[in-house]
Structure formats: C-alpha cells, structure tokens
C-alpha cells in the first residue's frame, strides 16, 4: 500500500515538499529526499543509491488534541513504512525508521509537525543478470576437482 492510499480516507495531502510552497496544507505528509549515498553493491551492474528520506507529518493546531494526534499520525506512517518496499523489486525494505517533533512551519504559525525519517536503497539501472543471453545452458561438476580448467572431460553434466 502506498502512503497516498493509506491516508486517502483522512483527506491527507501527500506530495513531495517544494521549497516554493506558499500555502502549507494540513493535514499533510510532505516527502523529501535529504541525502543520497552509495549503498551496498548487489553485483548486478545497478547503481545502489542509499536514500535518506523524510516525511513531514503536518497538522493544524486547531485539530482536537493536536499534540497527541500528530504523534499518532507519525506512528501510523511508521507502521506503513515498516516492511514496505512499495512492491518495487529495485527498492529494499526501510531501515532506521525514527520520528521526532520538528519546527516546521515555513513562514506560518498554527501548525505542528513531526518528521519521520528512514533509509531505503534504490537500485538504479539495468540488472545485467536478468538477461536470458547470459544464462548457463549446462552445469558440470566433479567430486574432487584438481583446479585445472583443462580437465573438462573429467567433469559430468548435471
């Protein structure tokens, strides 16, 4: 399930954070990529981008019990993120999911915000091992190989 799907019934605005935002929607989840690093190489030719992500959970202070409500809002997002690669094979499961209150009201008073942060690796590019042209057609073995590749006649096919 995506973030938009999870929060659709609550009429939460879910979108990427834009620096030119003049109006601050609420309730909202504003997504941002805070940092990109090289992640763990899968050995398949793709670029592993370790993405540090942030979701700003924004609520109006006019929301009843807003201080508790925004924490529940953040916790609900954390639950959705946990074990979720959003059905994308090239994305790993999230790790280091945390949440904390932040001062986030660009030029606006009357909002409360908690930031949920996490890391996910996104593998970019083509997987060189997905090609049918490089799949082995025959596998051979030998019980006691002597390490000499020229002794192919001593190996048996599986």
Q: How far apart are the first and last CA of the chain?
A: 43
Q: What is the per-residue pLDDT across 2-47, written as a single tens digit (0 to 9) for each?
A: 999 999 999 999 999 987 766 778 999 999 999 999 999 999 999 9
With a pLDDT cut of 70, the percent of the chain lying above it is 85
Can you tell me the distance from the alpha carbon of 111 to that of 68, in angstroms, rounded to the nearest whole number?
13
Listed in order, strand segments (DSSP E) in the chain are 13-16, 28-38, 47-60, 95-102, 111-124, 140-141, 156-157
CATH of the domain at 40: 3.30.2000.10
Q: What is the per-residue pLDDT across 52-102, written as a single tens digit (0 to 9) for each?
A: 999 999 999 999 999 999 999 999 999 999 999 999 999 999 999 999 999
Residue 102 domain-assigned?
Answer: yes
Residue 142 domain-assigned?
Answer: no
Among candidate residues 150, 6, 154, 155, the one with its CA nearest the CA of residue 77:
6
Query: Is the pTM of the predicted complex or chain greater than 0.85?
Result: no
pLDDT at 148: 60
Domain that holds residue 60: 3-127
- What is the total count of domains within the chain? 1
Residue 144 domain-assigned?
Answer: no
């Amino acid at each position: 399930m995506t973030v938009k799907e999870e929060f659709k019934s609550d009429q939460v605005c879910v979108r990427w954070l834009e620096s030119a935002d003049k109006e601050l929607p609420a309730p909202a989840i504003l997504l941002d990529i805070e940092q990109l690093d090289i992640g763990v190489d899968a050995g398949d030719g793709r670029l592993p981008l370790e993405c540090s992500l942030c979701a700003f959970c924004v609520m109006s202070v006019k929301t009843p019990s807003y201080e508790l409500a925004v924490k529940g809002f953040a916790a609900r997002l954390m639950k959705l993120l946990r074990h979720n690669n959003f059905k994308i094979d090239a994305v790993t499961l999230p790790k280091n999911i945390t949440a904390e209150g932040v001062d986030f009201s660009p030029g606006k008073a009357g909002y409360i915000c908690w930031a949920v942060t996490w890391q996910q690796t996104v593998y970019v590019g083509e997987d060189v091992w997905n090609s049918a042209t490089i799949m082995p057609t025959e596998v051979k073995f030998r019980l006691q190989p002597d390490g000499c590749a020229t002794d192919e006649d001593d190996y048996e096919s599986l």
